[in-house]
Amino acid sequence: MCACGRGGAAHNGRVRYEELADVPCSITRPLVILGDRWTLLILKYCFAGVRRFNAFQSALGISRSRLRDRLDRLVEHEILVKRPVDDGAYEEYRLTAKGHAIYPVLMAIRDWGDTYMAPEGPPVEYRHRACTGEAHVHLTCDTCQAEVTARDIEPQAGPGLTGIV
């Protein structure tokens, strides 16, 4: 059984990248969509308000074909929606509800980066508009509300893990 790190045939080192979407693991599957730096950087810029193709290209310095590929993938997976602006002069990319749900993932990466890769301190602080406190990601138990770490977690087979031995 895989259970996200417990071994099994799906993780024997012979799985092709495209086949990872079929692995019954909710960590592995999203990596097929989000698992490269360009996609995460595009999403970072989306949250910063970038919406136009040329603005992404200018901000990232990414090739037009690679940018088109990543944006198309995000649209295909309904993380972004592409639509014309009111006057129809151009199209823009907007985050969907599914796209907005990725924000905590980016914030968790940011927290890790601030802790381990920012020796001079955080380059950007993400402040709560209502009170100016800094935003951080915390992992909590949905039953007792206790804050948990990897040491407190025990992966167990869930309802989506069927027919795997």
Q: Give the model confidence (pLDDT) of 92-141 as tens digits.
A: 999 999 999 999 999 999 999 999 999 999 999 999 999 999 999 999 99
Mean pLDDT of 33-41: 93
- Whole-number percent of the chain with pLDDT over 90: 70
Instruction: Count CB atoms within 10 A of the CB of residue 108.
Output: 14
Locus of tokens 């200018």: 58
Cα–Cα distance between 143 and 139 in angstroms, integer? 12
Half-sphere exposure in the Cβ direction for 133 (13 Å, CA): 5
Residue 55 token pair: 């603005």
Mean pLDDT of 144-150: 96
pLDDT of residue 15: 66
Q: Hey, is 27 helix, strand or coil?
A: coil
Alpha helices for the chain (secondary structure H)? 28-34, 37-47, 53-60, 64-76, 97-100, 103-116
* Residue 94 CA to its chain's centroid (Å): 15
